[in-house]
Amino acid sequence: MVMLKSWRQLKFRQRLVFLLLFAVLLPTVALLVTQYYSLLDLRGKTRLAYENSLRQTIQQIDGNLEARISEIGYARLQSFDAATLDSWNGEKVKAQLNEILRGNPEIESVFVLSSESNNLSYTAILSQTSGYREIKSESAPNEAFFKTPDEESITVSFVSVVQSPAASRSAFYFVQSQCEKCPPPDKTTNEKFYIYRPLSDPRDIQRLRFVGISLKQNYVVNELFPEAIRLMEKNDGQNQKGEIVFAAFDENRRLVFSNNTVSNNVVPENLDAFEASATLRQTFSRWTLAASYRDNNIADLATNYFLRNLLLLLLIVGLIAAGILLTLRVASTEVDLAAAKSAFVSNVSHELKTPLSLIRLFAELLETEGVKPEKRGEYLRIISKETGRLTALINNILDFAAIEAGKKEYNFAPHNLTETVAEVLENYSLVLRESGFDLQTDFSEKLPLVSIDRDAVGQAVLNLLNNSAKYSLDEKYITVKVGRGANGTVQIQIGDRGIGIAPGEQKKIFEKFYRSGGASDVHNVKGSGLGLALVKHVAEAHGGSVSVKSQSGKGSIFTIRLPIKDNGSG
Ligand code: ADP
C-alpha cells in the first residue's frame, strides 16, 4: 500500500526510468550474464569439437591405410597359384615369387610356406637384396622356419596371425612387428610390415600354407601414409590447404613420419606437442598418428570464436541499451512537449484576455460622458497599443499553425533591409518610449538590396523587440543595429539590458513552446513560447540564421543573419 502510494507520487519521468530498469534493463543484464556463461561453456565445447574433428580425421586416415593395404595384398598376392604347393616344386615356386617381386619396388621380400605334415615343411623367400633361398625343414613349422633375423621376424609375425581369432575370416592380414635382431634400415625404427595371404586354414598347424610380402619402410613412410592423407583430403574436403600437420610416432614416441613438407615449420618431435592423437587400430597398431592445426592451436581458435561471439553479444546489448536510452529520450521529450502545450494554452488565453479586457475597459470609459479630451487621446492610445499586441500575438499563432501544417509561404523580393527594420521601429518605438525605454538605433551602414519576405522579417524583428521589452526590468535600454555580418551576410542585431538567458537555455529558447526555466523561477512574464521559434523559422527560410549572446542578469543580443548572395541586386 505504502509502495503504491509512493509510486503514484513519483513523476512520470521517474516512473519511466523505474519501469525501463525493471522491465528492460534487468532482463538485459540477466541475458548478458547467462549468455556470457553459455559462451564460456561453448568455448570448452568448441575445443572438444576441434579435437574430435582431428581425431576423426586420424581415423579416416587409418581406414584409408587399411583399404590401401588390402588393395596391395590383393594386387600382389591374389595371383599366387596355391596348387603349386601341392607337391613342392622349387622352380615353379621361385618363378611365382619372382612374378610377384618383379616391377614392384615397394616389396622388400616375398615368401611362401607350405607344411605338408607335422614334420615336413618347405619355405622359400625371394628378397630384393639377397635373392632366392629355399629350405626344407623336417621339424615343426613354427620351430624351424627361416634362419636369418629377417626370416625369424616373419615367423614371429605369422605366429601372431595364426593366433589371431580373426585369422580365418579375412583373405589378407597386415602385421606390423618389430624385428629386434634386424639391422635397422635408414629410418629410425626396424619395423617390419607384412601382408599375408593364407592358403589354408591358419588354425590347422599341420597343414599350413601361406604366401606373404614385406613392404619397405621407405615405401610405407614416404608413399603409403602421404597417399592415405591425400585420399582423406580429397574425399573429405578437409585440410585442402594443408592446415593440419600429421605425424606418426612409434612405440618409443619417436617421430617416424610427418606430412609437414609444405611449410618450414619444424614438426614438434614430441607427441605431447600435438593437439590430438590416436593409435592406428586397424593397421599400424604399433604407431600413433598425431595431428595439429598448422598455424593455430585449438585453444586460440576456441578463444577467437569465444571473443567473436562475446563481441557480438556486447554489440547486441549495446544496441538494446541505445534503444532504451532513445526511448527514454523520446518519451521525455514527448512529456516536455505535452507539458509545454498545456502551458501554451493557458499562456495564450491569458495573453488574449489581458489586452481584450483593457480594450473593453477603455472603450467603455470613452463611451461614458464627460471624458476629458486629453484623457480621450490617452485611452485611444492604450486601445491602439493593446490592439497591436493582440494582432502580433494572433499573427504569431496563425504563422505557427501555417508552419506546422507545412503551408507557410514566403514571398521573396529585393528590399532594403534597413528600411524594413526602420519601418517596424517607426510603429513600435512610440510604444517602447511610452513604456520608458531608451531606444538606440544604428542604421548608418550602406547595404545592398537583399531578397526577403518583408512582412516575415518585420514580424521577426517585432518579436525580438517585444521580447527585449518584455524581459527588461529596471534598465530599459534597447539597441537596434543593421549592418554587414561575416561571410557575405547582412545582420539585424537587437540588444537589451534585461534579465538575460542562462547558457544552458540559450539553444532551447528557439524551440517551439519553450519558455525559460519553466518561466516562473526566471521571470513572471507571460508568453506563448512561439516568438523565437518563428524568428528561427523565418531566418532559416531565408537561408540565414538567428543566434543569441547573453549573460544572466546583464542582457541579451539577438542577431538575425541573412545571406546577401546574388538575390538583392536584381
Ligand atoms: P515567449 O516570449 O512568448 O515566452 P519566445 O519564444 O519569444 O516566447 O521566447 C522564449 C523564451 O526565451 C522566453 O520565455 C524567455 O525566457 C526567453 N527570452 C526571449 N527573449 C529574451 C530576452 N530578450 N531576454 C531574456 N530572455 C528572453
β-strands 545-551, 555-563: how paired? Answer: antiparallel
Confidence of residue 166 (pLDDT cuts 50, 70, 90): low
Q: What is the pLDDT of residue 259?
A: 79
How far is ligand 1, taken at its centre, from the CA of residue 495, in Å?
13
Residue 482 pLDDT? 96
Percent of the chain at pLDDT above 90?
32
Query: Residue 343: which pLDDT band, with cuts at 50, 70 and 90?
Result: confident
Q: pLDDT (tens digit, 9 = 90+) per residue, 277-329?
A: 888 887 888 899 998 887 777 888 888 888 999 999 899 888 888 888 888 88
- Give residues with Cβ within 8 angstroms of 456, minimum separation 6: 410, 538, 541
- The closest alpha carbon to 242, from 218, 219, 261, belongs to 261
Most confident listed range (234-238, 249-253, 352-356, 506-510): 506-510
Q: Cell 486601445 maps to which residue?
A: 383
Q: Per-residue confidence at 530, pLDDT binned at 50, 70, 90?
A: confident
Q: How large is the angle between the packed helices 225-236 and 26-77, nearest 10 degrees?
A: 130
Position 8 pLDDT exceeds 80: no
What are the pLDDT digits (tens) for 418-452? 999 999 998 788 888 888 999 999 999 999 999 99
Ligand 1 atom, smallest distance to 500 CA: 25
Mutate to test the pocket of ligand 1, among 400, 461, 471 (most ligand atoms within 8 A of CB): 471
User: For 350-402, what is the HEC assignment?
Assistant: HHHHHHHHHHHHHHHHHHCCCCCHHHHHHHHHHHHHHHHHHHHHHHHHHHHHH
What's the gap in Å between 400 CA and the centre of ligand 1? 16
The average confidence (pLDDT) of the chain is: 84
- What is the 335 CA–ligand 1 centroid distance (Å)? 21
Distance 367 CA to ligand 1 centre (A): 37
CA–CA dist 509, 303 (Å, integer): 53
| Gap between the Cα atoms of 70 and 100, Å rounded | 16
**For ligand 1, mutation pick of 465, 501, 546 (most atoms within 8 Å of CB):** 501
Residue with the smallest CA separation from ligand 1 atom 19 is 467
Q: What residues contact 371, with CB distance under 8 A and at least 6 apart?
A: 365, 379
Distance CA 570, CA 567 (A): 7
Cα(103) to centroid of ligand 1, in Å?
Answer: 107
Q: Which of 395, 497, 516, 535 to mutate to test the pocket of ligand 1 (most atoms within 8 A of CB)?
A: 516
Q: What separation in Å is there between the alpha carbon of 330 and the centre of ligand 1?
A: 24
For the cut 60, the answer to whether the pLDDT of residue 167 exceeds it is: no
CA of 183 to the centre of ligand 1 (A): 107
Question: Which residues form ligand 1's pocket by a CB distance below 6 Å?
Answer: 467-468, 471, 496, 498-501, 509, 514-516, 519, 522, 527-533, 556
Rounded to whole angstroms, how far apart are CA atoms 396 and 455? 12
**Over 50: is that where the pLDDT of 262 sits?**
no
Answer whether residue 142 shows pLDDT above 80. Answer: no
Q: What is the mean pLDDT of residues 183-204?
A: 76
Helix H or strand E encompassing 563: strand 555-563
Q: Give the distance (Å) from ligand 1 centre to CA of residue 530.
A: 9
pLDDT of 200-236, one tens digit each? 887 777 788 889 999 998 899 889 998 998 888 887 7
